[in-house]
């Protein structure tokens, strides 16, 4: 076997050199964790026969696993003693085997196959649920077996952190590692980290220094992005008009209509104490007058009735009901549609392209009031509306109406749909003096 020297930063030396049941490395992006774990396992596997399980919470396909990283490192070091197959990696000399599994897919039957494992590598371990950990930990029972954990911190109460990292005993190694500890950290990553440090110190602490987000105390929106949009001067665009309607659920909430054309949020119309028919009548007026390409209606609760009336009036082609609690379009990333829409709004505000929001202190407060968290599958979730309401004293109706305009991408105006209707411009609605409706 050829003698090849591994390029592993010193801080990871205990992975190979010490015997511990649990070895947990945590920290921010770019700390070198994934590479060092991969290299260390590959080099250990060349010295003696090991059965190694590379696991994460969910592995829908081998592409989700560290199989590619290990293969890339094998190519980089030209480790010709390793054979890479589609599902495994095997050392032809020592017979070391790497297998790749998702913890959630383990059941009573196939978890048995893990009993002979020498080393488990739990990658992205912040995503691992308590249930998965409680099943896995006692299954890895071979004498001298080790559990290696690489993770970025998410919340204070990450299950793996609570179980292994928070109170380490003599069988547990816990090491913090950040990009500043990684001698191989690419310039691009260092640049991104520095930019984040200057522009958003709170995010920097979490993303780059591995600080957990304080539970329930982490904002989705960046205040600066909201201000920037409110200070922007943008000419009206030809993008299709989208209307979002947040329908009042309770007596004290308002029904809010939001009007947006691409990068330009023209404004809001807010109404108190409207019943379903009155909301539908307002919507009908706006649809006839301003010919939106889409109208997204919050259809949870009473809003469903508004959608029924609008459909009955023949607007089915452009009116879309949106259930905030329903499965997200990108279910792997978002807990529900509400989180997805709000995150689309966040991306719109924080993107390279300048966007425009009307100057409105109430809107700023609502947008910046929403805290984010992550569910056990690692998907973005927003805090409950009731919680926000408790803090604000009212529901974030205006911000919800704006978020609704991001429910689905809208590319173009519904063809010919309005041909028989006269042209009108939404901007004219906001040029008139404020009427009886509040803003």
Ligand X SMILES: Nc1ncnc2c1ncn2[C@@H]1O[C@H](COP(=O)(O)OP(=O)(O)OP(=O)(O)O)[C@@H](O)[C@H]1O
**Binding stretches for ligand X (CB under 6 A):** 7, 29-35, 39, 152, 182, 184-186
**In this complex, which beta carbon is closest to Mg ion, that of residue 151 or of residue 247?**
151
Residue 26 class from Cβ within 10 Å (0-12 exposed, 13-18 middle, 19+ buried)? buried
Question: Could you tell me the two tokens for 162?
Answer: 């609570």
Question: Could you tell me the two tokens for 158?
Answer: 């990450």
**Residue 148: enclosing H or E segment and its boundaries?**
strand 146-151
Contact flag: residue 266 with Mg ion (CB under 5 A): no
**In this complex, which beta carbon is closest to ligand X, that of residue 151 or of residue 258?**
151
Number of chain positions touching Mg ion (CB under 5 A): 1
Task: Name, in order, each residue with C-beta under 8 angstroms of 42's C-beta and a sequence gap of 6 or more.
Answer: 6, 70, 73, 74, 77, 79, 82
What does 178 bind: ligand X, Mg ion, none (CB cut-off 5 to 8 Å by kind)?
A: none
**In this complex, which beta carbon is closest to ligand X, that of residue 33 or of residue 261?**
33
**In this complex, which beta carbon is closest to ligand X, that of residue 29 or of residue 46?**
29
Crossing angle, helix 337-350 and helix 223-231, to 10 degrees? 60
Contact flag: residue 34 with Mg ion (CB under 5 A): yes
Which of the stretches 30-38, 133-141, 360-368, 406-414 binds Mg ion when contact is defined by CB under 5 A?
30-38
- What's the min distance (Å) between Cβ of 8 and ligand X? 6
CA distance 415 to 393: 43
Bridge-based pairing state of the strands 254-261 and 241-246: antiparallel
What does 31 bind: Mg ion, ligand X, none (CB cut-off 5 to 8 Å by kind)?
A: ligand X
- What's the min distance (Å) between Cβ of 123 and ligand X? 8
- What's the min distance (Å) between Cβ of 156 and ligand X? 19
What does 23 bind: Mg ion, ligand X, none (CB cut-off 5 to 8 Å by kind)?
A: none
- What's the min distance (Å) between Cβ of 175 and ligand X? 12
What does 182 bind: ligand X, Mg ion, none (CB cut-off 5 to 8 Å by kind)?
A: ligand X
Which of the stretches 34-42, 270-278, 301-309, 372-380 binds Mg ion when contact is defined by CB under 5 A?
34-42
**In this complex, which beta carbon is closest to ligand X, that of residue 29 or of residue 127?**
29
- What's the min distance (Å) between Cβ of 224 and ligand X? 24
Alpha-carbon distances of 178 from 8, 217, 282, rounded to whole Å: 14, 23, 54
What does 260 bind: Mg ion, ligand X, none (CB cut-off 5 to 8 Å by kind)?
A: none
- What's the min distance (Å) between Cβ of 33 and Mg ion? 5
What does 397 bind: ligand X, Mg ion, none (CB cut-off 5 to 8 Å by kind)?
A: none
Alpha-carbon distances of 265 from 220, 221, 327, 343, rounded to whole Å: 20, 17, 26, 16
**In this complex, which beta carbon is closest to Mg ion, that of residue 33 or of residue 291?**
33
What does 303 bind: ligand X, Mg ion, none (CB cut-off 5 to 8 Å by kind)?
A: none
- What's the min distance (Å) between Cβ of 302 and Mg ion? 46
Cα 16 from chain centroid?
34
**In this complex, which beta carbon is closest to ligand X, that of residue 6 or of residue 234?**
6
**In this complex, which beta carbon is closest to ligand X, that of residue 184 or of residue 285?**
184
| DSSP codes joined into one string, 275-297 | -HHHHHHHHHHHHHHH--SEEEE
**In this complex, which beta carbon is closest to Mg ion, that of residue 34 or of residue 381?**
34
Return the bridge partners of 272, or none. Answer: 254
| DSSP codes joined into one string, 97-145 | EEEEEEGGG--TTGGGGGTT-SEEEETTGGG--HHHHHHHHHH--STT-
Question: Could you tell me the two tokens for 152?
Answer: 């970025």
Nearest CA-CA partner of 203 in 337, 69, 346: 346
- What's the min distance (Å) between Cβ of 29 and ligand X? 4
What does 186 bind: ligand X, Mg ion, none (CB cut-off 5 to 8 Å by kind)?
A: ligand X
- What's the min distance (Å) between Cβ of 210 and ligand X? 9
Nearest CA-CA partner of 158 in 210, 208, 103, 102: 210
**In this complex, which beta carbon is closest to Mg ion, that of residue 34 or of residue 266?**
34
- What's the min distance (Å) between Cβ of 154 and ligand X? 12
Cα 323 from chain centroid?
19
For the sheet containing 319-322, what is the strand order?
264-272, 254-261, 241-246, 294-298, 319-322
Sites of contact with Mg ion (CB under 5 A): 34
């Amino acid at each position: 076997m050829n003698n090849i020297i591994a390029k592993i930063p010193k801080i990871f030396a205990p992975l190979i050199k010490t015997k511990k049941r649990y070895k947990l490395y945590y920290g921010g992006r770019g700390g070198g964790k994934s590479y060092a774990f991969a290299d260390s396992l590959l080099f250990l596997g060349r010295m003696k026969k090991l059965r190694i399980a590379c696991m994460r919470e969910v592995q829908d396909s081998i592409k989700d696993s560290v199989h590619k990283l290990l293969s890339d490192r094998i190519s980089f070091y030209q480790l010709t003693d390793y054979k890479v197959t589609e599902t495994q990696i095997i050392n032809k000399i020592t017979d070391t085997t790497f297998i790749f599994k998702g913890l959630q897919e383990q059941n009573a039957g196939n978890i048995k196959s893990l009993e002979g494992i020498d080393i488990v590598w739990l990658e992205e371990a912040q995503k691992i649920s308590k249930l998965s950990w409680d099943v896995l930990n006692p299954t890895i029972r071979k004498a001298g077996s080790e559990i290696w954990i690489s993770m970025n911190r998410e919340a204070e109460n990450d299950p793996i952190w609570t179980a292994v990292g928070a109170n380490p005993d003599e069988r547990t190694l816990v090491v913090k590692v950040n990009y500043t500890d990684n001698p191989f950290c690419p310039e691009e990553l260092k640049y991104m980290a520095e930019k984040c440090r200057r522009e958003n110190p709170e995010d920097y602490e979490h993303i780059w220094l591995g600080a957990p987000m304080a539970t329930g105390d982490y904002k989705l929106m960046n205040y600066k992005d909201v201000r920037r949009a409110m200070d922007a001067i943008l000419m009206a665009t030809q993008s299709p008009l989208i209307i979002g309607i947040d329908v009042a659920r309770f007596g004290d909430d308002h029904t809010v209509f939001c009007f947006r054309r691409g990068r330009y949020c023209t404004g809001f119309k807010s109404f108190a104490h409207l019943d379903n028919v009155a909301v539908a009548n307002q919507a009908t007026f706006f649809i006839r007058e301003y010919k939106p390409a889409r109208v997204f209606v919050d259809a949870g609760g009473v809003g469903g009735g508004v959608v029924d009336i609008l459909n009955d009036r023949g607007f089915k082609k452009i009116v879309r009901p949106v259930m905030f609690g329903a499965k997200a379009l990108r279910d792997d990333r978002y807990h529900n549609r509400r989180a997805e829409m709000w995150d689309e709004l966040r991306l719109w505000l924080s993107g390279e392209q300048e966007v425009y929001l009307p100057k409105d202190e109430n809107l700023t407060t609502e947008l910046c009031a929403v805290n984010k968290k992550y569910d056990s599958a690692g998907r973005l979730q927003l805090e409950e509306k009731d919680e926000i309401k408790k803090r604000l004293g009212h529901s974030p109706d205006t911000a919800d109406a704006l978020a609704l305009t991001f429910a689905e991408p809208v590319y173009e105006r519904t063809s010919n749909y309005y041909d028989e209707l006269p042209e009108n411009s939404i901007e004219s609605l906001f040029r008139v003096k404020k009427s009886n409706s509040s803003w």
